[in-house]
Structure 1
Amino acid sequence: METRFQILNGQRFHIRRWGSSDLPPLLMLHGFPEYGGAWADLAPHLASHFHCIAPDQRGYGQSWAPEGVGQYATSELVSDMIALVEGLDTPISVLGHDWGAAVAYGLAMFRPDLVGRLIIANGVHPVPFQRAMASGGPQSAASQYINALRAPDAATHFAANNFTRLESFFRHGMGLDWLSDARMEDYRTEWARPGRLNAMLNWYRASPLVVAKPGEPCTDLPRLPVERLMVRCPHLLLWGSDDKALLPEATDGLEDFAPDLTRVDIPGTDHWLHHQKPEAMAQAIIEWTDG
């Protein structure tokens, strides 16, 4: 692995890379509450096939973390990655997990000229996810934690006692064998950088997605431009079925937005499949790419 800083849209971003720069590029986009280093389990298994590029996204790690909720609208987050991808030989492959999936979908939907293949690992397209969260059913219940993350005092709450509450949130519903004490300290180091935790939480606050109360469906939803939210390139969805935050119903109807969709389950994993079964995940990606 090598690291460097790169200027994107006039701001400084921290980027990790694995594999020869002569290989096809694979942009790897992390989610909450991780950072670019979260791909260190998976990337070595892909580095013989791809030049893996893993930025700390806006507000995370050592990258630019502006103040203000509006700075974390999806359009702003996608614009950072457009600036990064435009410096590469395009179209490229893009891999997104969790919130990184939202940015990956944004790239594929709004700049299809830049994305040749889209890989999502336990992440969701905005339309099926909004429908599931608005239904008042199981996904609505599973998504109630979003309200706590959007609260004005969330950064203070989750940072208390050396991030004890954020660690508990992070550990909820995951296999713990990969999360050693040493790795947990690495996460705390990134969370403790000035302004970072509040910036990370601003991703949730800036999202227009509505979370219904369990048993109380929402019908007055913001209109999503469905006709513009198509994924035209080949799309691989990797899924850990034991995920407690994102349920299978959050991907119902995805085929309507991704006509060239392949679904692959990674047995024995939950939301953190890239840590739990990186070899199996890499094999699925390589087989799909080579197929």
Structure 2
Amino acid sequence: MIEMPPLQLARINGIRMGFYEAGPRTDKPPLVLCHGWPELAFSWRHQIKALSEAGIRVIAPDQRGYGATDRPEPVEAYDIEHLTADLVGLLDHLKIEKAIFVGHDWGGFVVWQMPLRHPDHVAGVVGLNTPHTNRAWADPIDLLRARFGADMYIVQFQDAAREPDRIFGSRVEETFDFFMRKPMPRSDTSSTEPPVAGIGAVPKLNLAFPQMVAGYDPKLDPRQPILSPEERRIFVETFTGTGFTGGINWYRNMSRNWQRAADLDHTVRVPSLMIMAEDDRVLPPSAADGMEKLVPDLEKYLVRGSGHWTQQEKPEEVSAKLIEWRRRRFG
């Protein structure tokens, strides 16, 4: 198993943040690797090793609500303003002027917001699976509820009773056994609904994830795991200690984020790379269609044969593309 660099801790934006750093400190601009849900900085272990060995400075935080980083109680403490300010605070702590922000899944939503809200700190952006979209024409939770109903997992996450948190927290091993697998081979090319403005394309799948985990038996799952037993243990032990509420609170701010972005210019004006995964059912390549209208300096790259957990399913290819693009665009 790939070893992580030593954990570092810092007081940032009113919280204690845990992060990992590797590569030469003289390298500029560094890459800040931002994970999604339900993940950790550990999700970037392959890229931390490969990029640092290539002479590139990399920094990977456990973001707010995850792992070694604090988990404030108020739901509003997890809105996009706090999440982006955390990354600015991390740069300030490390005395870094600008960075390239790389984000997967929810981390992708955060990094695409960085050049809109904190342009002086952003040299470039890389979205992994997660595209940049314009502001939705209506509240995104209302759109998801109208399209998929109340059982859709993001809609369920809005439940003030926090039943999804309880389900995942009481079945931590089953949660990671369920999520961290490669997808089944695609039987057709029409497995997504048309894109929703501000959300992207969405799957024709059962999206009642809490109930699926509640009834899940890994012995009956034909999909291939992507984690080794040692890697799985790190995720399970960490989330057994922290629970899932911190990360789910990011979803509970989707309406708030939408409301507060009404006057925000959504154009990204820095060099950008969109890495898409051919077999991601939730964030398919089609979700990135038309991104060029909002991101003028955009390059797209397709990772074939990968599902949603791209940096862990195809680590060598993802790392190689990050290294190549970083060197070509920034020296």
Distance 2:137 2:109 in 1: 12
**Do the aligned residues in 2 keep the contact of 1:128 with 1:251 (CA within 8 Å)?**
no
Secondary structure in structure 2 of the residue aligned to 1:290: helix
- Go from structure 1 to structure 2 and tell me whether the alpha carbon gap of 1:277 and 1:5 turns closer, same or farther (over 3 Å shift): same
Q: After TM superposition, which residue ranges in structure 1, 4 or more long, deviate above 4 angstroms?
A: 128-131, 133-137, 140-143, 221-224
Contact 1:150 1:205 in 2 (8 A): yes
Structure 2 equivalent of residue 42 of structure 1? 47
Match of 1:216 in 2: none
The answer for the alignment partner of 2:170 in structure 1 is 160
Q: CA deviation at 1:150?
A: 3.4
Shift of 1:261: 0.4
The answer to whether the aligner puts 1:13 opposite 2:17 as a matched pair is yes
* Deviations, residues 48-102 of structure 1 (Å, cap 9, x unaligned): 2311100100000010100121111111111111111234332211111111112
Q: Give the secondary-structure state (helix, strand or coil) at the position aligned to 1:228.
A: coil
CA apart distance, 1:37: 1.1
Of 279, 287, 290, the residue aligned with 2:324 is 287
Contact 2:181 2:226 in 1 (8 A): no
Q: CA deviation at 1:126?
A: 4.2
What are the superposed Cα offsets for residues 234-281 of structure 1, whole Å, 9 maximum, x if unpaired?
000011110011123322221111000000011121211101211211
The answer (yes or no) to whether the contact 2:278–2:304 under 8 Å persists in 1 is yes
Question: In the alignment, which residue of structure 1 is the partner of 2:96?
Answer: 89
For residues 142-173 of structure 1, the C-alpha deviation after alignment (integer angstroms, 9 at most, x for no partner) is 99332233332111111224442454244473
Normalised to the residue count of structure 2, the TM-score between the two structures is 0.75
**Structure 1 pair 129–235 and aligned structure 2 pair: CA distance change class (3 A):** farther
* 2:126 and 2:275 in contact (8 A); partners too: yes
Q: Is the 8 A contact 2:35 2:107 kept in 1?
A: yes
CA distance in structure 2 between the partners assigned to 1:223 and 1:72 by the alignment: 14
Gap change, CA 1:178 and 1:206, over 3 Å in 2: same
Alignment correspondent of 2:293 = 256
Q: Between 122-131 and 69-78, report the one with greater CA deviation.
A: 122-131
Alignment partner, residue 229 of structure 2 = 181
Q: Deviation string for 1:18-51 (max 9, x for gaps)?
A: 2122222111100000011111022211112311
Letter in 2 for 1:146: I
2:276 counterpart residue number: 239
SS of residue matched to 1:113: helix
Deviations 1:206-242 (A, max 9, x none): 11289xxxxxxxxxx9685375111100000011110
Q: Is contact 1:18–1:52 with CA below 8 Å preserved after alignment?
A: yes
Structure 2 residue aligned with 1:213: none
What corresponds to 1:147 in structure 2? Answer: 155
C-alpha contact (below 8 Å) 1:127/1:226 kept by paired residues: no
- Cα displacement (A) at 1:200: 1.2
Task: State which drifts further: 266-275 or 25-34.
Answer: 266-275
Alignment partner, residue 104 of structure 1: 111
Correspondence 1:201 to 2:207: no
Task: Kindly tell me the number of residue pairs found equivalent between the two proteins.
Answer: 277
User: Given residue 41 of structure 2, which amino acid in structure 1 is its aligned partner?
Assistant: G
Give the conservation status (yes or no) of the 8 Å contact 1:98–1:124.
Answer: no
Give the whole-Å Cα distance in 2 for the aligned partners of 1:271 and 1:12.
29
Q: Which residue in 2 is equivalent to 1:217?
A: none
What CA RMSD, in Å, does the superposition of the two structures yield over aligned residues? 2.8
Please give the TM-score of this superposition, normalised by the length of structure 1. 0.85
Q: Work out the CA distance in 2 between the residues paired with 1:249 and 1:119.
A: 17
Deviates more, 1:182-191 or 1:163-172: 163-172
- Select which of 283, 299, 313 maps to 1:276: 313
The percent identity for this pair of structures is 27
